[in-house]
Structures are given as structure tokens and as C-alpha cells.
Amino acid sequence: MKKLLSKKNLAILLGVLLLYGVIQALISLGVLRTFHQVNLITICISVIMAVSLNLITGFTGQLTLGHAGFMAVGAYFSAVMTVKWGMYFPVSIFCGAVLAAVSGALIGLPTLRLKGDYLAIATLGFGEVIRVVLLNTKYVGGAAGLFGIPRLMNWTWVFFAAVITVVVIRNLLWSSYGRACISVREDEVAAELMGIDITHYKVLAFSVGAFFAGLGGGIYAHYFYGLQPGTFGFMKSIDYLVMVVLGGLGSVTGSILAAVVLTLINVVLQQFSAIRMILYALLLILIMIFRPQGLMGSKEASLELFRKLGRRSGHGSLGSK
């Protein structure tokens, strides 16, 4: 208990509650209008997706290009449960996430024997198969999409879902499970020789990552009224992968930072809709050429890091934790 209530943890808790409180107050006062709220929710969903993908790709070293596929599973299943079976929505979102985790394990067991780019292509294939199956399933609306989902999500739900995702994944990574996952990334053969069951940890990372991707999908479904199979295509997976790589593979805070920054950049670029994608593409290329390890590398933003930065450049603020 002493450790749990350390100064550092209390400071973080306070910071998180403060962030929530300030934004909730601004929403209640009507300062942040629907436009801002949509972007805040999108940021939180991006954080959930990027952190969960970082667990798979950044920490366990398994490159996957099908993360949006898990998101689709969670989104569609939870939407069907809420709309067609009349379930209470937290239950349906949770069930959607569980189903995504199960599909993650099912996909993971056979495909995780593959390495590197082969795994990437297999997961890409999986994501596309899910999309096409949804496209052809009449029950969930097919190509037209599934509509009429009530907007049951609000800032409170989504913010705390994101916080819980980050806390769970962070604690998982800082446990013996996390160390085992990192050892799989560093050297599979060496890890195996040390008695680590590689497949076990890969599947674990895959299903936990898929669970939170499913959660992100469920939230998406219950905020944006409708779902279309095209939303969860290859491009969506790439969007989240870009966040992970940009933030730094193996840095939770990096993923959060990149999710916030990239979502905001997208919002800003919307004003220049004609050249939005060109600028986005150039940004990607330039960042990768000049900083291939991502914004944070494998470091975590911490009070220590701020102190160091502060000593060097007067002050350095990197936004929210």
C-alpha cells in the first residue's frame, strides 16, 4: 500500500483528475463545443489504439498491420449487442472487447510462428478479410453500414477508458510479463533459452492488445452513431501504426504524445483539405528521415526527464502525461 500511494503515483493521479476536471468544467460551461468534444473523444480513442498497438509492436516486437481489424470486431459486436439485443452498453462494449481478444488469440496462435514482415502481411490479410466479411454480412448492414447506434459515450466514459487502458498496459509492461515480452522483442532465441515460452507471450500481447483495440472500437461505435466497414480498413491500421512509430516503439508516453499530436495535426490540416494528405505524407517522411526512432525513442516521459530538459533549456513542457 505504501508503494501504491507513493508521492509519484499521487502526483500522477492528481494530474489526471485535474486534466479531467478542467476539460469537464470547460464542457459544462459550454466553452468546448461539439467540434472540440469530437476531437477530444478521437484523441482518447487514438490513445487507446496506439498504446495497445505499442504493446504488440513496440514492446513485443511483432509488427502488425491489422489493428483496425480488432477495432472492427469490437465496434460491430458491441453495436449489435446494444442495438439489436438491447444490452446495457458497458456490458456490450466489454463483450466486444472480449470477442476482439478472443479473435486476437485465434489469429495469434497460428500466425505468430511467422516472423517480421510475414506476420505483418498475415495480419494485413486478416484485417482485410474482416472488412470484406462485414461488407458482405446483411445482418450488420453490409456496405451501407450499421446505423442508429445511440450516442451513449461522453467525455467521462471515454477519458477514464483511456486512463484505464494506459494504466493496465503500463503495469503489465512493468511486470515480469512485460519483461518477458521485451525479451521476446530483443532476441527470440536468447529469450527461449532463458526458459521463456515465446508463443505464450506473443499470444498474450496479441490478445491484450486486441482487447483494448476492441474497447476502442466499442467506444467509437457508441459515439459516432454509425459504423461502416470501410472505416476499419488498412489505412486505419496504418494511422495507428504511424502514431506508435512516431511516438517511439517501446514508449507508452510516446504513443500518448503522438496520438494527441497527430490527431491535433489532422484537425489543423483539415482547413487545408486539398493538400492535407500531401502535408501529412511529407511530415511522415521527414520525421522518419530525421528522427527514425520516433519522438521519444524508447524513453518514457517522466518527471526526471522534464527536470533534465528543464536544466538544459529553461523549461520544457510536453503536454499531458
Partner 1 sequence: MEQFYVFLQQLINGVSLGSIYALIALGYTMVYGIIKLINFAHGDIYMMGAFIAYFSVSYFHLGFLSALLISMAACTVLGVLIERIAYKPLRGATRIAALITAIGMSFFLEYVMVFFVGAQSRAFPNVLPALRIEFFGGKVFITGKELLIYGVTLFLVVLLQFIVRKTKTGKAMRAVAFDREAAMLMGINIDYTISATFALGSALAGAAGVLVGIYYSAVNPLMGMTPGLKAFVAAVLGGIGIIPGAALGGMLMGLIETFVIAYGQSTYRDAVAFAILILILLVKPSGILGTNVREKV
Kindly list the residues in this chain that would bind partner 1 in the complex (CB under 8 A): 57, 63, 110-111, 113-114, 116-118, 120-122, 124-126, 128-129, 132-133, 135-136, 189, 234, 238, 241-242, 245-246, 249, 274-278, 280-285, 288-289, 292-293
Q: Give 54's contacts (C-beta < 8 A, 6+ positions apart).
A: 169, 244, 247, 249, 250, 251, 252, 254, 255
What is the smallest separation between the CB atom of 210 and partner 1, expressed in angstroms? 16
Cell of 167: 494504466
Q: How many CB atoms lie within 10 A of CB 299?
A: 16
* Start-to-end C-alpha separation, the chain: 23
Residue 106 or residue 305: which is nearer to partner 1 going by CB? 106
In the bound state with partner 1, the residue whose beta carbon lies nearer, of 22 and 129, is 129
Least distance between partner 1 and beta carbon 102 (Å): 18
Q: Is 290 exposed, middle or buried (0-12, 13-18, 19+ CB in 10 A)?
A: exposed
Query: Can you tell me the distance from the alpha carbon of 187 to that of 147, in angstroms, rounded to the nearest whole number?
Result: 46
Question: Among residues 267 and 288, whose Cβ is nearest to partner 1?
Answer: 288
Q: Of 127 and 218, which has the nearer Cβ to partner 1? A: 127
Instruction: Name the residue nearer to partner 1 (CB basis): 1 or 193.
Output: 193
Q: Which is nearer to partner 1, 168 or 284 (CB)?
A: 284
Helix, strand, coil percentages (3-state) for the chain, rounded to 5, are: 75, 0, 25
d(CA 43, CA 260): 6
**Please, are residues 45 and 263 in contact by the beta-carbon 8 Å criterion?**
no
Q: How far is the CB of 166 from partner 1 (least distance, A)?
A: 22
Least Å from the CB of residue 163 to partner 1: 27
Distance of closest approach, residue 134 Cβ to partner 1, in angstroms: 10
CB of 265 to partner 1, least distance (A): 14
Query: Quick one: 122 or 158, whose CB is closer to partner 1?
Result: 122
Query: Crossing angle for the helix pair 155-173 and 252-269, nearest 10 degrees?
Result: 140
Cα separation, 44 vs 137, in Å, equals: 29
Rounded least distance, CB 306 to partner 1, Å: 26
For residue 104, give the 3-state DSSP assignment: helix
